[in-house]
Chain A
């Protein structure tokens, strides 16, 4: 076993022991603890747990890679996945906390006095959460197979086992406290290599400042250097805009309202003791998220520069005598090549690799963006313990998000379907058991989908955000801010927002993601007005608002007790402790 593997086993093993220890300490004994951690989580701790819940394998592993290869255009993810918290803090979280129930569909069902609305919300929730969880499962498998060199399946089973222990035993309570630990692991794992690399390249230990600094030993700014090198090699400049402005605008908006509408994030704000805690907790969540999200642009830019310098040896395209030699590849290069995520082809047969923008002469035929964060410490020749830490961080990010999503799914099944519709008079104890069984079932289904990912796994993230943006967010917002909104308006609004978004995604991605049935080309030229399927959620939300407000204005106002309910959730007074069930 190599030194790196020993380190990885030690670090990953230590974090797993910590998670299991917390699971045993934080068992749930009532449904209140299982669904919302007894509403006793301190707002700062809840913010930390929300950070881990929100930052998935995609944030940890993929985002910096996306930024590295798209530069300025990837800003949509940075702004979109953080700006949603403003909407959450000001438009949803405090009011939903005041209402004081356990799940998002429960609020929608009660507010619009309609089981149909509740069922539509449950379906959106399950589809959005399940599609999201597949990616997490895949992330766990990849991290295990690359760093511990054990089979993908075994890695996935170990991950499932760990989530099973703390999520089934502890419910929201166990998940919350493990997420706090996972946040610490993942943020440490993300920032340590970033600090090292920033120091190496710019001499400034703070990556956010390093990105705006000059290169060590020269007076050229890092970003200017990167722009220059990329342009010399025939790539687009890093800081310039490549996509259309309208699409950037709508994609950012869709991600923001999608973030605010994702049920597993909203539910986290049900766990704090008071309404005012829900407000500040959203701020704390964003502080903890921002630490990673403002570091990511530095990681992306520096990783791109390091990658180019390693291969192209800091020289301009035609001069290739310094380039990386094929018979002398560094170990990270050959390791990633084995996974198929990195490929090269010596097209001109000179025994060296050329990495240029022109597809005809470029010899780096595949650099998967997902490897950038994981390979970054190796490219920068950082010590083995740092690389091991990154593996543990990636696994922590995937596990914490998976647990949050699985909890949202199991609560919707046991609370909204079993207790709410099928068997209304079951006891608290039976419901708790139903919750645990639903959780176990959800883990098995998610694991199965992780092992046999449907061909569309990569496409479905657009679906998750599209669903949340076009159906759940507008319904919740109108439920709070439009007192006159009634059942008919809400149901038709949700269905039309959902329908139009699904339609737009299916036209480009194929009906139910069967690619051969796609009706229009999924390219910027084929998109209507240049709007990508992932960016359509914002348009779907506008359709939802418009339909709901129109139908509501011609149908009967909601009954008196519902209007009182709306007035009541608008003031914090009287929220106090948990509402009995």
Chain B
């Protein structure tokens, strides 16, 4: 396999990993399992409600920066970065 193919595969793996987390926090914790999670509380928040209105958004932000950081590493590793 060529370097370009390896780079692309590593990219796809990273994207899939990130999107799994993206799906779990929003659709999973915020919608599908929100009612069950609501029996757990953090302060005044029921956990499912917290994920739907706060937690998922914080996770999205962290995910994008994690993705950007890992991609920059991959760019350098496969020597396809811009500098």
- Chain B residue at minimum C-beta to C-beta distance from A91: B15
Stretch at the interface among A141-149, A217-225, A456-464: A217-225
Secondary structure at chain B's binding surface: helix, strand, loop or mixed?
helix
- Chain B residue at minimum C-beta to C-beta distance from A288: B61
Residue A241 is within 8 A (CB to CB) of chain B in the complex: yes
Residue A239 is within 8 A (CB to CB) of chain B in the complex: yes
CA distance A570 to B72 in the complex (A): 14
The distance from the CB of A82 to the nearest CB of chain B, in whole angstroms, is: 5
Cβ contacts B61-77/A at 8 Å (1 or 0 each): 10111011001100100
Cβ contacts A71-95/B at 8 Å (1 or 0 each): 0100100110011011001110010
The distance from the CB of A565 to the nearest CB of chain B, in whole angstroms, is: 14
CA distance A274 to B75 in the complex (A): 13
Stretch at the interface among A278-286, A373-381, A428-436: A278-286
Q: State whether B44 touches A573 (Cβ < 8 A).
A: no
Of A91, A208, A241, the most chain B CB neighbours within 10 A belong to A241
Decide yes or no: A280 and B68 within 8 Å by CB, A249-B32, A567-B4 being known contacts.
Answer: yes
With a cutoff of 8 Å between Cβ atoms, the chain B residues found around residue A78 in the complex are: 52-53, 56-57
Residue A248 is within 8 A (CB to CB) of chain B in the complex: yes
Q: State whether B32 touches A294 (Cβ < 8 A).
A: no
Q: State whether A276 touches B64 (Cβ < 8 A).
A: no
Q: State whether B57 touches A294 (Cβ < 8 A).
A: yes
Q: Of residues 277 to 308 in A, which have CB atoms within 8 Å of B's CB atoms?
A: 279-280, 282-283, 286-287, 290, 293-294, 297
Q: State whether A293 touches B57 (Cβ < 8 A).
A: yes
Count of A-B contacts with CB under 8 A? 136
With a cutoff of 8 Å between Cβ atoms, the chain A residues found around residue B80 in the complex are: 571-573
Chain A: residues with Cβ within 8 Å of the partner, total of 50
Q: State whether A89 touches B67 (Cβ < 8 A).
A: yes
- Chain B residue at minimum C-beta to C-beta distance from A81: B57
Q: State whether B82 touches A79 (Cβ < 8 A).
A: no
With a cutoff of 8 Å between Cβ atoms, the chain B residues found around residue A293 in the complex are: 57
The distance from the CB of A97 to the nearest CB of chain B, in whole angstroms, is: 11
Decide yes or no: A239 and B57 within 8 Å by CB, A89-B68, A276-B75, A283-B65 being known contacts.
Answer: no
CA distance A223 to B72 in the complex (A): 42
CA distance A460 to B30 in the complex (A): 27
Q: Of residues 1 to 22 in B, which have CB atoms within 8 Å of A's CB atoms?
A: 4, 7-8, 11, 15, 18-19, 22
Decide yes or no: A241 and B35 within 8 Å by CB, A91-B15, A290-B57 being known contacts.
Answer: yes
Residue A213 is within 8 A (CB to CB) of chain B in the complex: yes
Q: State whether B44 touches A213 (Cβ < 8 A).
A: yes
Cβ contacts B18-42/A at 8 Å (1 or 0 each): 1100100011001110110010001
The distance from the CB of B81 to the nearest CB of chain A, in whole angstroms, is: 6
Return the contact of A82 from the options B8, B15, B35, B60 (Cβ within 8 A). Answer: B60
Q: State whether B60 touches A85 (Cβ < 8 A).
A: yes
Q: State whether A86 touches B18 (Cβ < 8 A).
A: yes
Q: State whether A283 touches B31 (Cβ < 8 A).
A: no
Q: State whether A252 touches B58 (Cβ < 8 A).
A: no
Decide yes or no: A83 and B22 within 8 Å by CB, A72-B49, A576-B82 being known contacts.
Answer: yes
With a cutoff of 8 Å between Cβ atoms, the chain B residues found around residue A79 in the complex are: 26, 30, 52, 56-57
With a cutoff of 8 Å between Cβ atoms, the chain B residues found around residue A576 in the complex are: 82
- Chain B residue at minimum C-beta to C-beta distance from A567: B4
Return the contact of B64 from the options A67, A286, A572 (Cβ within 8 A). Answer: A286
CA distance A78 to B26 in the complex (A): 10
With a cutoff of 8 Å between Cβ atoms, the chain B residues found around residue A241 in the complex are: 34-35
The distance from the CB of B62 to the nearest CB of chain A, in whole angstroms, is: 9
Residue A212 is within 8 A (CB to CB) of chain B in the complex: yes
CA distance A83 to B50 in the complex (A): 15
Return the contact of B49 from the options A239, A567, A575 (Cβ within 8 A). Answer: A239
Residue A402 is within 8 A (CB to CB) of chain B in the complex: no
Decide yes or no: A572 and B75 within 8 Å by CB, A222-B44, A241-B35 being known contacts.
Answer: yes
Decide yes or no: A211 and B52 within 8 Å by CB, A276-B72, A282-B64 being known contacts.
Answer: no
With a cutoff of 8 Å between Cβ atoms, the chain A residues found around residue B44 in the complex are: 211-214, 221-224
Q: Of residues 202 to 250 in A, which have CB atoms within 8 Å of B's CB atoms?
A: 208, 211-214, 221-224, 239, 241, 245, 248-249
CA distance A290 to B35 in the complex (A): 24
CA distance A208 to B75 in the complex (A): 37
The distance from the CB of A471 to the nearest CB of chain B, in whole angstroms, is: 21
Q: State whether A239 touches B46 (Cβ < 8 A).
A: yes
Residue A275 is within 8 A (CB to CB) of chain B in the complex: yes
Q: State whether A274 touches B82 (Cβ < 8 A).
A: yes
Show 20 residue pairs from A and B whose CB-CB distance is below 8 angstroms, ordered by the A residue: A72-B52, A75-B53, A79-B56, A82-B57, A82-B60, A86-B63, A90-B18, A90-B19, A212-B43, A212-B45, A245-B32, A252-B31, A276-B71, A276-B82, A279-B64, A294-B58, A297-B53, A571-B7, A572-B82, A576-B82
| A-B pairs with lowest CB-CB distance, top 9 | A221-B44, A75-B52, A283-B64, A279-B68, A212-B43, A297-B53, A571-B80, A212-B44, A212-B45
Q: Which residues of B are in contact with A by a Cβ distance under 8 Å? A: 4, 7-8, 11, 15, 18-19, 22, 26-27, 30-32, 34-35, 38, 42-46, 49-50, 52-54, 56-58, 60-61, 63-65, 67-68, 71-72, 75, 79-82
Q: Which residues of A are in contact with B by a Cβ distance under 8 Å? A: 67, 72, 75, 78-79, 82-83, 85-86, 89-91, 94, 208, 211-214, 221-224, 239, 241, 245, 248-249, 252-253, 274-276, 279-280, 282-283, 286-287, 290, 293-294, 297, 567, 570-576
Name 16 extra pairs, CB < 8 A, besides A89-B67, A212-B50, A221-B44: A72-B53, A75-B53, A78-B57, A86-B22, A90-B18, A211-B54, A222-B44, A239-B46, A239-B49, A249-B31, A276-B82, A280-B65, A286-B60, A290-B60, A572-B75, A575-B82
